Protein backbone atom coordinates (compact mmCIF):
# COMPACT_ATOMS: atom_id res chain seq x y z
CA UNK A 1 0.00 0.00 0.00
CA UNK A 2 1.31 3.46 -0.84
CA UNK A 3 0.08 5.75 1.91
CA UNK A 4 -1.45 9.10 1.10
CA UNK A 5 0.47 10.82 3.87
CA UNK A 6 3.19 10.01 6.37
CA UNK A 7 4.75 12.54 8.77
CA UNK A 8 8.47 13.23 8.42
CA UNK A 9 10.28 12.28 11.61
CA UNK A 10 13.86 13.47 12.20
CA UNK A 11 15.96 11.75 14.84
CA UNK A 12 15.75 14.72 17.15
CA UNK A 13 12.07 14.77 18.22
CA UNK A 14 12.49 12.29 21.10
CA UNK A 15 15.71 13.95 22.26
CA UNK A 16 14.04 17.37 22.44
CA UNK A 17 10.86 15.97 24.03
CA UNK A 18 12.98 14.26 26.67
CA UNK A 19 14.83 17.52 27.24
CA UNK A 20 11.52 19.43 27.55
CA UNK A 21 10.37 16.91 30.18
CA UNK A 22 13.63 17.13 32.11
CA UNK A 23 13.29 20.93 32.21
CA UNK A 24 10.16 20.35 34.30
CA UNK A 25 7.97 22.93 32.57
CA UNK A 26 5.39 20.95 30.65
CA UNK A 27 2.71 23.59 30.15
CA UNK A 28 2.82 26.31 27.50
CA UNK A 29 5.43 29.00 26.85
CA UNK A 30 8.43 27.00 28.09
CA UNK A 31 11.92 26.75 26.58
CA UNK A 32 10.93 25.12 23.26
CA UNK A 33 7.84 27.30 22.73
CA UNK A 34 10.11 30.36 22.96
CA UNK A 35 12.56 28.78 20.53
CA UNK A 36 9.72 28.10 18.08
CA UNK A 37 8.45 31.69 18.42
CA UNK A 38 11.94 33.06 17.73
CA UNK A 39 12.37 30.70 14.79
CA UNK A 40 9.08 31.71 13.15
CA UNK A 41 9.59 35.43 13.79
CA UNK A 42 13.13 35.40 12.40
CA UNK A 43 12.79 32.91 9.54
CA UNK A 44 9.34 33.90 8.27
CA UNK A 45 9.86 37.59 9.13
CA UNK A 46 6.88 38.56 11.25
CA UNK A 47 6.69 40.79 14.31
CA UNK A 48 4.82 38.35 16.59
CA UNK A 49 4.34 34.58 16.47
CA UNK A 50 2.47 32.60 19.12
CA UNK A 51 2.10 28.82 19.04
CA UNK A 52 -1.47 27.59 19.39
CA UNK A 53 -3.05 24.18 19.87
CA UNK A 54 -4.09 24.10 16.18
CA UNK A 55 -4.70 26.30 13.15
CA UNK A 56 -8.40 26.08 14.08
CA UNK A 57 -7.66 27.75 17.43
CA UNK A 58 -5.44 30.35 15.70
CA UNK A 59 -8.42 31.17 13.42
CA UNK A 60 -10.75 31.33 16.45
CA UNK A 61 -8.31 33.74 18.12
CA UNK A 62 -8.11 35.83 14.95
CA UNK A 63 -11.91 36.13 14.85
CA UNK A 64 -11.90 37.39 18.46
CA UNK A 65 -8.98 39.74 17.75
CA UNK A 66 -10.73 41.50 14.86
CA UNK A 67 -13.85 41.89 17.04
CA UNK A 68 -16.20 39.92 14.81
CA UNK A 69 -19.78 40.06 16.05
CA UNK A 70 -23.34 39.20 15.06
CA UNK A 71 -24.31 40.88 11.81
CA UNK A 72 -20.73 41.01 10.45
CA UNK A 73 -19.82 39.23 7.24
CA UNK A 74 -16.52 37.61 6.30
CA UNK A 75 -15.64 36.70 2.71
CA UNK A 76 -13.83 33.38 2.24
CA UNK A 77 -13.72 30.56 -0.30
CA UNK A 78 -16.27 27.79 -0.01
CA UNK A 79 -13.48 25.46 -1.08
CA UNK A 80 -11.80 25.27 2.33
CA UNK A 81 -11.72 23.33 5.58
CA UNK A 82 -14.55 23.84 8.10
CA UNK A 83 -12.27 25.69 10.54
CA UNK A 84 -12.09 28.81 8.34
CA UNK A 85 -15.87 29.17 8.56
CA UNK A 86 -16.31 27.91 12.14
CA UNK A 87 -14.09 30.69 13.50
CA UNK A 88 -16.47 33.26 12.01
CA UNK A 89 -19.69 31.46 12.93
CA UNK A 90 -18.55 31.00 16.55
CA UNK A 91 -18.50 34.82 16.89
CA UNK A 92 -22.05 35.06 15.51
CA UNK A 93 -20.88 36.42 12.15
CA UNK A 94 -21.75 35.09 8.68
CA UNK A 95 -19.36 33.39 6.24
CA UNK A 96 -19.90 34.73 2.72
CA UNK A 97 -18.53 32.26 0.20
CA UNK A 98 -16.73 33.41 -2.94
CA UNK A 99 -15.69 31.54 -6.08
CA UNK A 100 -12.20 30.23 -6.70
CA UNK A 101 -9.77 30.85 -9.51
CA UNK A 102 -9.59 27.95 -11.95
CA UNK A 103 -5.77 27.88 -12.11
CA UNK A 104 -4.84 27.97 -8.43
CA UNK A 105 -8.15 26.98 -6.75
CA UNK A 106 -7.67 30.02 -4.50
CA UNK A 107 -10.31 32.68 -3.81
CA UNK A 108 -11.07 34.83 -6.87
CA UNK A 109 -10.49 38.54 -6.06
CA UNK A 110 -13.13 39.59 -8.63
CA UNK A 111 -15.77 37.60 -6.74
CA UNK A 112 -14.60 39.11 -3.42
CA UNK A 113 -15.44 42.57 -4.77
CA UNK A 114 -18.87 41.37 -5.96
CA UNK A 115 -19.65 40.00 -2.49
CA UNK A 116 -18.70 43.07 -0.43
CA UNK A 117 -21.61 44.72 1.43
CA UNK A 118 -21.73 47.33 4.18
CA UNK A 119 -21.62 44.42 6.66
CA UNK A 120 -18.32 43.03 5.37
CA UNK A 121 -15.66 43.16 8.07
CA UNK A 122 -12.87 40.95 6.79
CA UNK A 123 -11.49 38.67 4.09
CA UNK A 124 -10.15 35.23 5.05
CA UNK A 125 -8.07 34.06 2.05
CA UNK A 126 -7.02 30.39 2.14
CA UNK A 127 -3.76 29.39 0.44
CA UNK A 128 -4.75 26.09 -1.15
CA UNK A 129 -2.15 23.34 -1.54
CA UNK A 130 0.70 25.62 -0.42
CA UNK A 131 0.30 28.07 -3.32
CA UNK A 132 -0.51 31.67 -2.48
CA UNK A 133 -3.72 33.52 -3.24
CA UNK A 134 -3.43 36.68 -5.33
CA UNK A 135 -2.44 38.68 -2.26
CA UNK A 136 -1.67 41.97 -4.08
CA UNK A 137 -5.28 42.16 -5.29
CA UNK A 138 -6.68 41.02 -1.92
CA UNK A 139 -4.64 43.55 0.09
CA UNK A 140 -5.60 46.32 -2.33
CA UNK A 141 -9.34 45.42 -2.06
CA UNK A 142 -9.01 45.29 1.74
CA UNK A 143 -7.42 48.75 1.79
CA UNK A 144 -10.10 50.26 -0.46
CA UNK A 145 -12.97 48.90 1.66
CA UNK A 146 -11.21 49.12 5.05
CA UNK A 147 -11.33 45.36 5.72
CA UNK A 148 -9.11 43.15 7.86
CA UNK A 149 -7.22 40.29 6.17
CA UNK A 150 -6.73 37.01 8.05
CA UNK A 151 -4.70 34.50 6.02
CA UNK A 152 -5.60 30.87 6.52
CA UNK A 153 -2.10 29.55 5.79
CA UNK A 154 -2.77 26.13 7.36
CA UNK A 155 -1.36 24.54 4.21
CA UNK A 156 1.07 27.35 3.39
CA UNK A 157 3.85 27.07 5.98
CA UNK A 158 7.22 27.99 4.42
CA UNK A 159 5.67 28.93 1.05
CA UNK A 160 6.10 32.43 -0.40
CA UNK A 161 4.36 35.11 -2.44
CA UNK A 162 6.58 37.78 -4.03
CA UNK A 163 9.31 36.72 -1.59
CA UNK A 164 7.08 37.07 1.50
CA UNK A 165 6.14 34.05 3.62
CA UNK A 166 2.46 33.06 3.62
CA UNK A 167 0.79 34.07 6.84
CA UNK A 168 2.88 37.26 7.11
CA UNK A 169 1.14 39.31 4.40
CA UNK A 170 -2.32 40.03 5.88
CA UNK A 171 -3.03 41.60 9.29
CA UNK A 172 -3.03 38.12 10.87
CA UNK A 173 -1.85 34.71 9.63
CA UNK A 174 -2.78 31.24 10.88
CA UNK A 175 -0.54 28.17 10.44
CA UNK A 176 -1.07 24.46 11.03
CA UNK A 177 1.35 21.84 12.32
CA UNK A 178 -1.22 19.04 12.26
CA UNK A 179 0.10 15.54 11.51
CA UNK A 180 -1.04 15.85 7.87
CA UNK A 181 0.92 19.06 7.19
CA UNK A 182 4.54 19.54 6.04
CA UNK A 183 5.93 20.37 9.52
CA UNK A 184 4.20 18.56 12.33
CA UNK A 185 3.83 18.16 16.07
CA UNK A 186 0.67 16.01 16.06
CA UNK A 187 -1.82 18.79 16.69
CA UNK A 188 -0.55 22.37 16.63
CA UNK A 189 -0.62 25.75 14.98
CA UNK A 190 0.49 29.35 15.25
CA UNK A 191 -1.00 32.79 15.00
CA UNK A 192 1.14 35.48 13.37
CA UNK A 193 0.40 39.12 14.15
CA UNK A 194 2.00 41.08 11.37
CA UNK A 195 1.97 44.52 12.98
CA UNK A 196 3.39 45.88 16.22
CA UNK A 197 1.10 47.24 18.88
CA UNK A 198 -2.28 46.53 20.43
CA UNK A 199 -3.24 43.49 18.30
CA UNK A 200 -0.13 41.57 19.40
CA UNK A 201 -0.63 42.50 23.06
CA UNK A 202 -4.26 41.41 22.93
CA UNK A 203 -3.36 38.13 21.19
CA UNK A 204 -1.18 37.17 24.16
CA UNK A 205 -4.10 37.81 26.51
CA UNK A 206 -6.73 35.93 24.46
CA UNK A 207 -4.34 32.95 24.20
CA UNK A 208 -3.88 32.88 28.00
CA UNK A 209 -7.59 32.49 28.87
CA UNK A 210 -8.21 36.23 28.76
CA UNK A 211 -5.62 36.97 31.46
CA UNK A 212 -2.50 39.15 31.47
CA UNK A 213 -0.44 36.19 32.72
CA UNK A 214 2.24 36.67 30.03
CA UNK A 215 2.91 40.19 31.33
CA UNK A 216 3.07 38.80 34.88
CA UNK A 217 5.60 36.12 33.83
CA UNK A 218 7.77 38.85 32.26
CA UNK A 219 7.54 40.84 35.53
CA UNK A 220 5.60 43.71 33.93
CA UNK A 221 2.69 43.45 36.43
CA UNK A 222 2.78 42.16 40.02
CA UNK A 223 -0.27 39.87 39.70
CA UNK A 224 -2.34 38.57 36.86
CA UNK A 225 -6.09 38.74 36.39
CA UNK A 226 -9.03 38.46 33.98
CA UNK A 227 -8.78 41.34 31.47
CA UNK A 228 -10.51 40.14 28.26
CA UNK A 229 -12.30 37.14 26.76
CA UNK A 230 -10.10 34.21 25.78
CA UNK A 231 -9.49 30.53 26.16
CA UNK A 232 -6.67 28.03 26.55
CA UNK A 233 -4.99 28.29 23.17
CA UNK A 234 -1.38 27.52 24.09
CA UNK A 235 0.14 24.08 23.50
CA UNK A 236 2.32 22.10 25.88
CA UNK A 237 6.08 22.68 25.63
CA UNK A 238 6.39 18.95 24.85
CA UNK A 239 4.69 19.56 21.48
CA UNK A 240 6.81 22.65 20.88
CA UNK A 241 9.91 20.47 21.43
CA UNK A 242 8.74 18.14 18.67
CA UNK A 243 7.99 21.07 16.38
CA UNK A 244 11.40 22.64 16.93
CA UNK A 245 13.07 19.46 15.67
CA UNK A 246 10.96 19.76 12.52
CA UNK A 247 11.89 23.42 12.06
CA UNK A 248 15.56 22.42 12.10
CA UNK A 249 14.81 20.32 9.01
CA UNK A 250 12.69 22.90 7.21
CA UNK A 251 14.66 22.93 3.97
CA UNK A 252 15.28 19.18 3.82
CA UNK A 253 11.54 18.47 4.11
CA UNK A 254 10.75 21.07 1.44
CA UNK A 255 13.37 19.75 -0.97
CA UNK A 256 12.14 16.16 -0.76
CA UNK A 257 8.53 17.26 -1.38
CA UNK A 258 9.66 19.44 -4.28
CA UNK A 259 11.41 16.56 -6.03
CA UNK A 260 8.30 14.34 -5.71
CA UNK A 261 6.03 17.14 -6.97
CA UNK A 262 8.26 17.83 -9.96
CA UNK A 263 8.50 14.12 -10.79
CA UNK A 264 4.70 13.89 -10.90
CA UNK A 265 4.58 16.97 -13.16
CA UNK A 266 7.21 15.56 -15.51
CA UNK A 267 5.66 12.08 -15.78
CA UNK A 268 2.05 13.23 -16.06
CA UNK A 269 2.66 16.02 -18.59
CA UNK A 270 2.03 13.71 -21.61
CA UNK A 271 -1.47 12.97 -20.24
CA UNK A 272 -2.17 16.69 -19.91
CA UNK A 273 -0.89 17.22 -23.46
CA UNK A 274 -3.43 14.64 -24.65
CA UNK A 275 -6.22 16.53 -22.82
CA UNK A 276 -6.84 13.63 -20.40
CA UNK A 277 -6.26 15.61 -17.21
CA UNK A 278 -5.13 19.02 -15.92
CA UNK A 279 -2.03 19.54 -13.77
CA UNK A 280 -1.68 22.15 -11.00
CA UNK A 281 -0.13 25.50 -11.74
CA UNK A 282 2.26 27.53 -9.59
CA UNK A 283 2.15 31.22 -10.65
CA UNK A 284 5.58 32.79 -11.32
CA UNK A 285 5.48 35.04 -8.23
CA UNK A 286 4.73 32.08 -5.90
CA UNK A 287 7.09 29.61 -4.24
CA UNK A 288 5.11 26.53 -3.25
CA UNK A 289 5.80 24.33 -0.24
CA UNK A 290 4.49 21.38 -2.30
CA UNK A 291 1.90 20.50 0.33
CA UNK A 292 -0.62 18.88 -2.06
CA UNK A 293 -0.25 17.34 -5.48
CA UNK A 294 -3.60 17.17 -7.25
CA UNK A 295 -4.85 16.39 -10.73
CA UNK A 296 -8.15 17.47 -12.29
CA UNK A 297 -9.92 14.79 -14.32
CA UNK A 298 -12.33 15.72 -17.10
CA UNK A 299 -15.47 14.43 -15.34
CA UNK A 300 -16.50 13.49 -11.76
CA UNK A 301 -17.09 9.93 -12.93
CA UNK A 302 -13.52 9.64 -14.30
CA UNK A 303 -12.21 10.94 -10.97
CA UNK A 304 -14.22 8.42 -8.95
CA UNK A 305 -13.23 5.51 -11.19
CA UNK A 306 -9.53 6.43 -11.14
CA UNK A 307 -9.63 6.76 -7.34
CA UNK A 308 -11.12 3.25 -7.14
CA UNK A 309 -8.60 1.88 -9.63
CA UNK A 310 -5.66 3.34 -7.68
CA UNK A 311 -7.08 1.91 -4.48
CA UNK A 312 -7.26 -1.56 -5.99
CA UNK A 313 -3.58 -1.09 -7.02
CA UNK A 314 -2.66 -0.28 -3.40
CA UNK A 315 -2.42 3.50 -3.87
CA UNK A 316 -4.28 5.75 -1.49
CA UNK A 317 -5.44 8.77 -3.52
CA UNK A 318 -8.27 10.96 -2.30
CA UNK A 319 -10.74 13.76 -3.05
CA UNK A 320 -10.68 16.97 -1.03
CA UNK A 321 -13.11 19.53 0.37
CA UNK A 322 -16.86 19.22 -0.03
CA UNK A 323 -17.68 22.89 -0.72
CA UNK A 324 -18.90 24.46 2.51
CA UNK A 325 -21.85 26.24 0.89
CA UNK A 326 -23.31 22.86 -0.15
CA UNK A 327 -22.82 21.24 3.28
CA UNK A 328 -25.66 20.83 5.81
CA UNK A 329 -24.25 23.77 7.81
CA UNK A 330 -23.85 25.87 4.65
CA UNK A 331 -27.52 25.30 3.85
CA UNK A 332 -28.44 26.64 7.29
CA UNK A 333 -26.93 29.95 6.14
CA UNK A 334 -29.19 29.92 3.07
CA UNK A 335 -26.69 28.60 0.52
CA UNK A 336 -27.69 26.05 -2.10
CA UNK A 337 -25.98 23.73 -4.53
CA UNK A 338 -25.49 25.68 -7.76
CA UNK A 339 -24.48 28.91 -5.94
CA UNK A 340 -20.79 28.45 -6.83
CA UNK A 341 -20.66 26.35 -10.02
CA UNK A 342 -16.89 26.45 -10.55
CA UNK A 343 -16.14 25.42 -6.94
CA UNK A 344 -18.63 22.54 -7.21
CA UNK A 345 -17.21 21.41 -10.55
CA UNK A 346 -13.56 21.48 -9.35
CA UNK A 347 -14.39 19.71 -6.10
CA UNK A 348 -16.04 16.84 -8.03
CA UNK A 349 -13.10 16.38 -10.44
CA UNK A 350 -10.10 16.83 -8.11
CA UNK A 351 -7.94 13.91 -7.05
CA UNK A 352 -5.03 14.25 -4.60
CA UNK A 353 -2.11 11.87 -5.10
CA UNK A 354 0.21 10.69 -2.30
CA UNK A 355 2.94 13.19 -1.41
CA UNK A 356 5.17 12.83 1.63
CA UNK A 357 8.84 12.56 2.47
CA UNK A 358 8.67 8.75 2.77
CA UNK A 359 7.63 8.43 -0.89
CA UNK A 360 10.40 7.22 -3.23
CA UNK A 361 10.67 8.43 -6.81
CA UNK A 362 10.03 4.83 -7.90
CA UNK A 363 6.71 4.95 -5.96
CA UNK A 364 5.79 8.01 -8.01
CA UNK A 365 6.65 6.11 -11.20
CA UNK A 366 4.47 3.24 -10.03
CA UNK A 367 1.50 5.54 -9.27
CA UNK A 368 1.86 7.29 -12.63
CA UNK A 369 2.03 3.92 -14.42
CA UNK A 370 -1.32 2.98 -12.85
CA UNK A 371 -2.81 6.25 -14.11
CA UNK A 372 -1.45 5.65 -17.63
CA UNK A 373 -2.87 2.12 -17.56
CA UNK A 374 -6.26 3.39 -16.45
CA UNK A 375 -6.20 6.00 -19.22
CA UNK A 376 -5.17 3.24 -21.66
CA UNK A 377 -2.10 5.21 -22.71
CA UNK A 378 1.23 3.42 -23.29
CA UNK A 379 4.05 4.61 -20.98
Ligand X SMILES: Cc1ncc(COP(=O)(O)O)c(C=O)c1O
C-alpha atoms less than 13 angstroms from C-alpha of 47 in its C-beta half-sphere? 14
CB 152 → ligand X: shortest distance, Å?
5
We find the least distance from the C-beta atom of residue 53 to ligand X, in angstroms, to be: 8
Sign of the dihedral defined by the CA atoms of residues 149, 154, 160, 166, in that order? positive
Q: Which stretch binds ligand X (CB under 6 A): 81-89, 162-170, 196-204, 227-235?
A: 81-89
Give the residue with the Cβ less far from ligand X, 46 or 176.
Answer: 176
First to last CA, the chain: 22
In terms of CB distance, is 83 or 288 closer to ligand X?
Answer: 83
Kindly state whether residue 54 participates in binding ligand X, applying the rule CB under 6 A.
Answer: yes
**Is 53 or 212 the residue whose CB approaches ligand X more closely?**
53
132 contacts ligand X (rule: CB under 6 A): no
| 184 is a site residue for ligand X (CB under 6 A) | no
Residue 155 in contact with ligand X, rule: CB under 6 A? yes
> According to the binding rule CB under 6 A, does residue 249 interact with ligand X?
no
Instruction: For residue 154, state whether it binds ligand X (rule: CB under 6 A).
Output: yes
Q: Using the rule CB under 6 A, is 106 a contact of ligand X?
A: no
Q: Does 83 bind ligand X (CB under 6 A)?
A: yes
Q: Least CB distance from residue 225 to ligand X, whole Å?
A: 29
Size of the site for ligand X (CB under 6 A): 14
Is 56 a binder of ligand X (CB under 6 A)? yes
- State the nearest-atom distance from the C-beta of 81 to ligand X, in Å: 3
Phi, psi of 321 (to 5 degrees): -55, 140
User: Applying CB under 6 A, which of residues 176, 212, 254, 289 lies at the interface with ligand X?
Assistant: 176
Position among 46, 80, 212, 289 found at the interface with ligand X (CB under 6 A): 80
Asked if 205 and 190 touch (Cβ cutoff 8 Å), the reply is no
Closest separation between CB of residue 353 and ligand X, Å? 17
Which stretch in 75-83, 135-143, 214-222, 295-303 sits in contact with ligand X by CB under 6 A? 75-83
Estimate to the nearest angstrom the gap between the alpha carbon of 287 and the chain centroid: 15
84 lines the binding site for ligand X (CB under 6 A): yes
**Segment interacting with ligand X, rule: CB under 6 A, options 76-84, 201-209, 303-311, 361-369:** 76-84
Stretch that binds ligand X, among 147-155, 202-210, 219-227, 356-364 (CB under 6 A): 147-155
289 binds ligand X (CB under 6 A): no
Between vectors from CA 297 to CA 291 and to CA 298, what angle results, nearest 5°? Answer: 150
CA atoms of 98 and 77, how far apart (whole Å) = 5
Choices 80-88, 97-105, 162-170, 217-225; region in contact with ligand X by CB under 6 A: 80-88
| From 43-51, 150-158, 343-351, 369-377, span contacting ligand X (CB under 6 A) | 150-158
Rounded CA-CA distance 90/85 in Å is 9
Q: Which of 2, 40, 49, 55 binds ligand X (CB under 6 A)?
A: 55
Q: Which positions touch ligand X (CB under 6 A)? A: 54-56, 80-81, 83-84, 126, 152, 154-155, 176, 178, 189
Amino acid sequence: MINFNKPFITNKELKYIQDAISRGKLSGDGYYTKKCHEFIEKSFRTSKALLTTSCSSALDMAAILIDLKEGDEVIMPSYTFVSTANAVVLRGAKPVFAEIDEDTLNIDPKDIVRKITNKTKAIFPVHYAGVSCDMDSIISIAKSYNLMVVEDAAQGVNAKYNGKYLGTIGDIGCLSFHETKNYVCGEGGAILINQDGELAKRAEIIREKGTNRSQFVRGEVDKYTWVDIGSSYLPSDILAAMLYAQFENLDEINNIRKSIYNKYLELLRPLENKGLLKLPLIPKNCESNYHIFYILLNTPNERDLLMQELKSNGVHATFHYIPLHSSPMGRKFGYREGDLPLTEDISARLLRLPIHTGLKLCDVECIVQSIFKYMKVKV
